[in-house]
Structure formats: C-alpha cells, structure tokens
C-alpha cells in the first residue's frame, strides 16, 4: 500500500506508510504508518519535537479479502514556541481508545441493519464486543435527545420482557408517537413510576398533545392526569376486546371444572376457537365452535357478548351511537348473572369516556402496538438486553427503522 492509498481506502490523511508485511497463512496485512509532519494543537506551530511513546494496533478496512492491521506509534509533542506539551491525536480513530479506524466503524454500522454482529465479526475479523460497542455508541448519539415538538398523539404500552428480573423490573414501558410510529421513551418498569423522567420532558409540549392512547390501566390514567391534565385519554379498543377475551376464557375454564371428562376435553381443545374473531373462522371451525357452545349455555352467552362488543367498534358510526350500544351491552352482560360479565360491564361503565375516545378522535388506536411488540419479542429472541439493558433500550428506539426480515 502506498501512502496515497491511505487516503482513498482508509480515509487517513497526513500519514506515511513506513513498512508493510503480509501474513500469508492468516490473510492479514500489517502496515506500519507514521504522521508525515507534526503540529502543535495549541498554537499550530510546525516547529515541534516528537518523542515516540506507545504503539497502537488498530484494525482497518480490509484490502480485498485481506484483513488490514495498522501499526502507529503515538508521539509526545513539545512545542518550544508556546512551551506546551501534548500527545499526538489520531483523528482517524472514532475515539481515543478505539481499536478500529473511523472508516471501518462506518462500514460496519452501514452494514449492521443487514447483517448480524456475528456475521460482521467473522467477515471483518473484528471482535463481537467491539462491533456491539460501536453500534451502542452510535445509537446513543442518535437517540440522546428525541424530539417531542411535533407530537400530537401518544401511545403508551407495557410489555413483559425480563423473566429473571425482580417483579417490578420484568416490564418495560414504551411511549410512541401514534402519527409517525417513532419511539419517544423506553423505561424499565411499568405504571406512573416508569414515566417520571419522561414527565419532565413532555410537560413542555402538553399544549400540542390531543390525546394519549393506552390500556385500561389506572396507573397510566393517573399519570396522564398529573403530567398532562388537559389531554384526553383514549382506551385502546384492542385492549378493551382483549379484556373481554380474558373474561370469556375465565368462564370457559370455570365451566370445564363442572363438566365430565369427555365434555371437558372437548371444551379445552376449543379455546382458540372461542377467542378467534367469528368472521375469521372457516366452515369447519364454525361448526366445531357451535357444537362446543351447545355444551354450556352461559359460555355460549358470553361468547355472543364478546362478538357483540366487537361489532360495536365495527358498526357504530358516531360517538353517540356507540354510547347507546355500550349501555345496551352492559345491560345484557349484567343480565347473564355471570360474575365475569358483570365485572366487564362495570369496567366498561367506569372507563366509558376513554372508550368513546375511539370515535371522538376518529379511530384513535394503539393498533400498531401489537406489531411493534412482536418486533420487541424478536429483539429479545436475538439475546439483546439480558446482559446490557441500555443497549437493549437503544435497540428498541431503533426498531421502527429496523427491517426484521433482512436481519433474519
């Protein structure tokens, strides 16, 4: 390699190639380089004395299929013009202690969205930890201060991620911009305590925020009333229906305990059919479900109420129409006499204003959240976060721009 090649292949300026040696058995090229001239960083004088100190060995961009190691001796500088002493700075390194050049780091980060760390490590001969640290630092710079100035609608959700952590640390709380899908906050834990730091930032922008979409958690509702007192709360329709599905499954499991062995097995195997949307059932599934419903009338009634609840979201054309339909639904739920249905009716009545927010704000929903949570689950499956929470947190911030299919 010629000295001029350093500029074009490695992005290194002002250095000369002193010697080059190739380890043929290992396909590694070792290149010794030295700064062409020295300059005082304080007064810019070129009349400086340079004293060799320690040698640095850094990995550079491969030359073809040959790995490249640069050997550079760091010098101590003395300037007689200003009388000051300093150490030579290697501007081609991304940080003073880095073991790879800025050009190689840039290459790895550009390829990272398309290749795993393991694949990059094997191809470029860079330690796994070094690539991870470089990506973590880059993500840290990118998401050091997420802008909130254009946010109009927030979506809040919690997701269970850490099995071995303490009970309150098993979850992360994610806040997203519902218009853009951008991640605005990732905090460990759940409830209002997890959003304390975010509260200080979001309060300055509260006048522009129209609503916050969430599940029917009293903790998050209390947080909104404290941090954003004039902002409307919308209870996500996905979570309302999910709550109903949970009640339906409770009734199914309770019914099984009073059945004979044969009937119990028949009902047990139909859990998926009871929870699946009726319009998604094929002909065989619909027949099997009808047979299962005929075995237990209270369970059948609860199933019909589940479908009736879904139909309100599908068919109510206005907030007022939805209000009347929910009132009717609550009466029907109470009339079943089932504790689970009465509990669900009570929950709907207590949260009706936020539930009707779906119509107030023209279909406001956390609908994209489930897809995003699937991305988080994929991230967990890649073993992020268990040893370095901050790295995992930064990767969650970056998920909206991550194409999972390319990473598999």
Tokens of 185: 């906050």
CA dist., res. 358 & res. 234, Å (int): 6
> What is the model's pLDDT at position 380?
81
Q: Is 376 exposed, middle or buried (0-12, 13-18, 19+ CB in 10 A)?
A: buried
Average pLDDT of the segment spanning 132-144:
93
Question: What per-residue confidence (pLDDT) applies to 373?
Answer: 83
Contact between residue 249 and residue 341 where contact means Cβ atoms under 8 Å apart: no
Alpha-carbon distance 112 to 240, whole Å?
39
Give the pLDDT of residue 404.
60
pLDDT at 408: 43
Task: Please report the DSSP string for 40-64 in residue order.
Answer: -TTT--S--EEEEEEEEEEEEEEET
pLDDT, position 383: 65
- Beta-sheet pairing, 183-188 with 28-35: unpaired
CB atoms within 10 A of CB 274: 20
What span, in angstroms and rounded, lies between the C-alpha atoms of 294 and 154?
Answer: 44
pTM above 0.85, yes or no: no
Between CA 390 and CA 394 the distance in angstroms is: 6
Can you give the three-state secondary structure of 243-296, one letter per residue? HHHHHHHHHHHHHHHCCCHHHHHHHHCCHHHHHCCHHHCCHHHHHHHHHHHCCC
Task: Quickly list DSSP for 63-93.
Answer: ETTEEEEEEEEEEEEEETTTTEEEE---TTS
Which residues neighbour 408 within 8 Å (Cβ) at sequence distance 6 or greater? none
Distances, alpha carbon 298 to alpha carbons 294, 307, 336, in Å = 10, 14, 7
Percent of the chain with pLDDT over 90: 64
Q: What is the pLDDT of residue 114?
A: 86
Residue 5 has pLDDT above 60, yes or no: yes
- The CA-based dihedral angle spanning residues 195, 201, 207, 213, taken in that order and rounded to the nearest 10 degrees: -30
Q: Is 23 helix (H, G, I), strand (E, B) or coil?
A: strand
Residue 297: how many CB atoms within 10 A of its CB?
A: 11
Q: What is the mean pLDDT of residues 364-385?
A: 77
- The answer to whether 391 touches 379, Cβ cutoff 8 Å, is no
Percent of the chain residues topping a pLDDT of 70: 94
| 25 CB neighbour count, 10 Å cutoff | 6
pLDDT value at position 165?
57
Rg of the chain taking only CA atoms, in angstroms? 31
DSSP for 135-186 reads HHHHHHHHTSS---TT--EEEEEEEE--SSS-GGGSEEEEEEETTT--EEEE
Q: What mean pLDDT comes out for the span 330-346?
A: 97
User: In the predicted model, is pLDDT for residue 167 greater than 70?
Assistant: no
CA distances from 47 to 33, 37, 75, 84 (A): 21, 10, 15, 12
Predicted confidence (pLDDT) at residue 182 exceeds the cutoff of 60: yes
pLDDT of residue 298: 93
DSSP-derived 3-state class of residue 326: helix
- Give all strands of the β-sheet with 171-177 in edge-to-edge order: 183-188, 171-177, 153-160, 211-214, 232-235
Smallest CA-to-CA distance from 255 within 303, 298, 302 is with 298
**Helices 319-335 and 297-315, packing angle to 10 deg:** 180
The pair of structure tokens assigned to 210 is 């129209």
Mean pLDDT computed over 326-332 = 98
Pairing of strands 211-214, 183-188: unpaired
> 316 or 28: which carries more pLDDT confidence?
316
Q: Could you tell me which residues come within 8 angstroms of residue 331 by beta carbon, excluding any fewer than 6 positions away? A: 345
Highest-scoring range by mean pLDDT, 256-265, 366-375, 378-387: 256-265
Average of per-residue pLDDT values in the chain: 89
How does 47-84 read in b/e, with b if 16+ C-beta sit within 10 Å?
ebebeeeeebebbbbbeeeebbbbbbbbbebebeeeee
**pLDDT tens-place string over residues 26-72:** 778 899 999 999 999 999 999 999 999 999 999 999 887 788 999 99
pLDDT mean over 336-345: 97
- What are the tokens at 56? 């640095």
Give per-residue pLDDT as tens, 218-277: 889 999 999 999 999 999 999 999 999 999 999 999 988 888 888 887 787 888 999 999
According to the model, what pLDDT value does residue 264 have? 82
How far apart are alpha carbons 387 and 164 in whole angstroms? 12
């Amino acid at each position: 390699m010629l000295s001029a090649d350093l500029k074009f292949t490695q992005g290194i300026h002002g250095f000369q190639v002193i010697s080059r040696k190739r380890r043929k058995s290992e396909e590694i090229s070792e290149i010794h380089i030295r700064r062409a001239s020295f300059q005082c960083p304080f007064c810019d004088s070129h009349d400086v004395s340079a004293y060799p100190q320690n040698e640095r060995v850094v990995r550079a961009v491969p030359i073809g299929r040959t790995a490249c190691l640069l050997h550079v001796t760091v010098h101590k500088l003395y300037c007689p013009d200003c009388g000051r002493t300093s150490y030579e700075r290697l501007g081609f390194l991304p940080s003073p202690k880095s073991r790879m050049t800025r050009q190689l780091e840039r290459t790895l980060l550009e390829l990272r969205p398309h290749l795993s760390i393991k694949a990059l490590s094997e191809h470029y001969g860079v330690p796994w930890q070094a690539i991870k640290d470089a990506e973590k630092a880059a993500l840290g710079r990118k998401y050091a201060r997420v802008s909130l100035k254009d946010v109009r609608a927030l979506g809040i959700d919690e997701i269970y991620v850490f099995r071995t952590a303490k009970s309150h640390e098993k979850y992360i709380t994610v806040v997203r911009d519902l218009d853009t899908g951008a991640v605005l906050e990732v905090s460990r834990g759940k409830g209002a305590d997890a959003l304390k730091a975010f509260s200080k930032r979001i309060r300055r922008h509260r006048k522009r925020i129209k609503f916050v979409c969430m599940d029917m958690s009293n903790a998050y509702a209390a947080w909104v009333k404290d941090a954003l007192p004039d902002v409307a709360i919308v209870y996500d329709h996905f979570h309302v229906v999910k709550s109903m599905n949970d009640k339906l499954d409770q009734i199914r499991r309770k019914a099984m305990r009073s059945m004979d062995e044969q009937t119990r097995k028949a009902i047990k195997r139909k859990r998926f059919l009871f929870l699946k949307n009726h319009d998604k059932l094929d002909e065989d599934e619909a027949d099997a479900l009808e047979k299962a419903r005929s075995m237990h009338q209270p369970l059948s009634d609860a199933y019909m109420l589940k479908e009736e609840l879904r139909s309100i979201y599908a068919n109510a054309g206005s907030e007022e129409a939805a209000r009347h339909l929910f009132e009717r639904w609550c009466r029907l739920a109470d009339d079943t006499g089932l504790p689970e249905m009465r509990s669900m009716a009570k929950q709907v009545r207590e949260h009706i204003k936020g539930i009707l927010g779906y119509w107030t704000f023209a279909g406001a929903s956390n609908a994209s959240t489930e897809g995003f949570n699937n991305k988080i689950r994929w991230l967990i499956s890649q073993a992020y976060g268990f040893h370095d929470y901050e790295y995992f947190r930064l990767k969650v911030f970056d998920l909206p721009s991550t194409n999972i299919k390319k990473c598999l």
